[in-house]
A = this chain, B = another copy of it.
Amino acid sequence: MPASDLKDVVYRANQKLAGTGLVLGTFGNVSAVDRQAGVFAIKPSGVPYEALTPDRMVVVSLETGQPVEGELRPSSDAPTHLELYRAFPTIGGIVHTHSEYATVFAQARQPVRCTGTTHADYFRGDVPVTRPMTQAEVDTEYEKNAGLVIVETFTSRGISAEEMTAVLVAHHGPFTWGADVFKAIEHAEVLEYVARVEWRVRALDPDAPRPDVFLVDKHHLRKHGPSAYYGQRKDPKK
């Protein structure tokens, strides 16, 4: 796809994100990747959502990590996005927000436990939280290391980036992704919903029983994978 189309998609996705109520001020950013062209486009740093235009999106090379198009600096989180695109080859878009309840779990360094079927519909198991970063990781190439710590969380624990499309960065906030950038936004919205519900479940009864694994799997697999039967057939006929 031409870079102008990619920038347009990312522009529209950033506008959509601003409409979700998941971001405050200039916090948060959205990117989308074009793997054939070897680039991703991302929001510029510190620009209010209402001042964005498609032309102001910044195009970054997957190989060098350097901007190849755009007059503005990319989001300071661009190196984090870069590492995720490099490590997770099936994802097409990434969203970073400071949505309230997901951020609460990130700040408390607690996973969002899977205690209900809505969570299972979207995320297979608990949404993980990264380990805290070391001083060396923070002092040098902080944003790149944030990406590497996310990747480490998934690879060291054997978590699939397809079945778990969200992560909490310790003391910071959530990142979500998906097959495309609009899926990534949907996952950011659902993550906030399930974090909100789970926060209240824990306040109501910290020892509430967990759902059975077969119930979690049933819900996840009726929406995802080869046996899915939720929604409409791709080619609906009578």
Contact = CB atoms under 8 A, between A and B. Distances in A.
Nearest to A171: B211
A229 B46 contact: no
A116 B218 contact: no
5 contacts: A71-B236, A76-B230, A103-B118, A104-B204, A199-B204
Interface in A94-121: 98, 100-101, 103-110, 115-118
Nearest to A135: B214
A47 B236 CA distance: 13
A63 interface: no
Interface in A73-99: 73, 76, 98
Most B C-beta atoms less than 10 A away, residue of A108, A193, A199: A108
A82 to B, nearest CB: 17
Most B C-beta atoms less than 10 A away, residue of A45, A211, A218, A238: A211
Nearest to A142: B218
Interface residues of A, number: 66
A222 B76 contact: yes
Contacts of A46: 230-232
Contact of A230 (B45, B189, B200): B45
A135 B211 CA distance: 11
A199 B139 CA distance: 29
A199 B200 CA distance: 8
Closest CB pairs A-B (n = 4): A46-B231, A107-B116, A108-B208, A171-B211
Interface of A: 24-27, 44-47, 71-73, 76, 98, 100-101, 103-110, 115-118, 132-133, 135, 138-139, 142, 170-173, 186, 189-190, 193, 196-205, 208-209, 211-212, 214-215, 218, 222, 229-233, 236, 238
A193 B24 contact: yes
B133 A215 contact: yes
B44 A215 contact: no
B138 A171 contact: no
A24 B172 CA distance: 26
Contacts of A193: 24, 98, 100
Contacts of A71: 236, 238
